[in-house]
A and B are shown apart, each in its own frame.
Chain A
Amino acid sequence: MNGFLAVDAQGVTKTYGSVRAVDDISVRVAAGEVYGVLGPNGAGKTTFLRMLLGLIRPDTGTIRMFGKTWEDSGVGVLDGVAGFIESPRFYPYLTGRANLEGLALLDGGTPTGLLEEVLDVVEMSDRADQKVGGYSYGMRQRLGVAASLLREPRLLILDEPANGLDPAGIRDMRALVKRLSGRGLTVLLSSHDMEEVEEICDNVTIMTRGTVAFHGTIAHLRTMAPDPGHVLATTDDVRALRLAEDQVGITVARDPGAALVVTGPPPEVSSYVGSLVRADIGLLAFTPTRTPLEALFFMLTDDATHQFLDRSAQPQDALR
């Protein structure tokens, strides 16, 4: 049997002037999975996805999609592939429907009824005859998904599809991705939100500054996650810090916001909190910092703007 990966990118590099936007990245996406490319802003996600869609040419490396490359198949490499980069763009002076009809022409035609069907999937049927210029951001995003589905893709490439959407829009978009993957579609999406990737992806590549910081399954990622951290506010932080020195298995650090951050497995944290109460130290606040996976994400991507929160997960910064 002649089998191919949906995406097989090997050693891909792209430089803009002196900026290495993507630096020797390899990504393999098997058919049928939902694959996440996760990274902070500027990590190179968009650049990578643009190369997959042939909008920019890699400096080095090879990209195969379903076994084909740009070099040997030209635009035919996009057969079975659809998606959009950043927010989808359309002709504002045409209606949503006219835009899709035009794109269908550039696809070599579409089966009858498909256009109505994809409009229906993204719940845009009743707005399709209005000009795109009057669409909201979320409507354009949904039209973008419709335009992609019009190609009847086997692989859907989405670049931060939830960006700029309100919470309801984000929920709808995630539900849509899950529904599509349930139909057997391979989805490759980028995101800067660990929670999103955790919710909808099977496998993930974490990128930072153009390079790969992690790749593997979400399950594997969970085992690497640090202990959960909590922000602690007490009536006497000095004594609370001193008490922490006697506690095994936890770290307590003071963050720049002057609160304490306690990190450790739940039983030890619970025992520490008990000791504070017994020592007559008042507990003013006890709130989770971020999920362990988020903490791991920031550790892996070493995002300077999040340094202080990361202290909860970085032993070298903690008091003993």
Chain B
Amino acid sequence: MTTIQTTSASTIRHDHVARRRPGLLAALRWELRKLRAQYRARVVLLIAVLAPVFIVVVIQGQSRPPKDTLFGRFAIDNGFALSLLVLGFASQWVLPLLTAIVAGDVFASEDQHGTWKTVLTRSTSRSRLFWAKTVTACGFATLVLVLLAVSTVASSWVIVGHQPLIGLSGQSIPAGHALQLVAASWALMLPPILAFTCLAILLSVWSRNPAVGIAAPVVIGMVMQLVGALGGVEAIRPFLVTTSFETWHGLLAEPRFSGPLVEGLLVSAGWCVVSLAAAFILFRRRDITGG
């Protein structure tokens, strides 16, 4: 073993003035500031607001309704049906993509810019940074969903109208109640969206590559849709995140059924917990050798 003795044996007094330990809030503020400065986050929010208006206008302008799709038959003359049609479409891959644009990038962009070594040599622990980034990504996902929902429902209401809705069992639902059910249906997107967000976080941490973090959740979502549509997969279908995208159907049937709804919540929560736990362990342990 080799030892380096400095000639001067001088040491310094250890003054116990530890730095003020920054809380989660400080790290969160920093993440938000970076997010605000990023062009792509603003573009996603803008799309979430404008795209539904555009789609509503286009569909309303069609002479024949998209009959093959759920609620498609009534979409050109019922605003609630149109909202639900857009909801069904958004859950195919649009929502996973919009959330992954931030969640798949939030960790990997530090690799891309080589900035891990910059932020991890300050006074904020790895776990604080992890949670700050996770909260940021989940908050962004929620915001995107809310904007998309409000924009869709409002523009369908205004442009197409708010006549009573014909439910999945052919029952007529009065406008006031229909609005509640449509809002609840959109809200039910939140658990699977958060599951996709956490999955994107895991992929972002694991791959250290923003392109993978953003694209992979979308591809995984599509594969899940495909698998879910196959026959003979009843055993695994409930465990697919994408199955949770359909739990709102139960709200619009007569009588209502909520079994899949509870199942979907649990499955989404499971995906969140497993993804985040794996991401956390990977992140805490990793050696920062790049940058």
Contacts and interface: CB of A to CB of B under 8 A. Distances in A.
Contacts of A54: 120-121
16 contacts: A3-B13, A10-B3, A24-B1, A31-B11, A55-B120, A55-B121, A56-B287, A66-B12, A75-B126, A89-B118, A106-B22, A106-B27, A106-B123, A108-B22, A108-B123, A151-B123
Given A30-B8, A102-B34, A107 B123 contact: yes
Interface in A1-59: 1-6, 10-11, 16, 24-33, 35, 50, 53-57
Interface string A192-236: 000000000011010000011001110000000000000000000
Interface residues of B, number: 47
Contacts of B29: 105
B226 interface: no
A76 B128 CA distance: 13
B125 interface: yes
Contact of A30 (B1, B10, B14): B10
A266 interface: no
Contacts, number: 169
Contacts of A93: 37-39
Given A83-B121, A84-B117, A212-B2, 17 more contacts: A1-B13, A26-B1, A26-B3, A26-B4, A27-B4, A31-B10, A53-B120, A56-B287, A78-B123, A79-B19, A85-B117, A91-B34, A92-B113, A103-B119, A106-B22, A108-B21, A108-B124
Nearest to A56: B287
A67 interface: yes
Q: Which 4 A-B pairs have the closest CB atoms?
A: A31-B12, A3-B11, A215-B4, A108-B22
Contacts of B8: 30, 32-33, 202
Contacts of A106: 22, 26-27, 30, 119, 122-124, 129
A265 interface: no
A88 interface: yes
A211 B2 contact: yes
A interface residue count range (under 10 / 10 to 19 / 20 to 34 / 35 or more): 35 or more
Given A24-B1, A28-B5, A215-B5, A75 B30 contact: no
A105 B118 contact: no
Contacts of A269: none
Contact of B288 (A3, A56, A203): A56
A105 B38 CA distance: 19
Given A28-B5, A30-B8, A2 B123 contact: no
A75 B7 contact: no
B43 interface: no
Nearest to A148: B121
Interface string A81-120: 0111110111111100010001101111100000000000
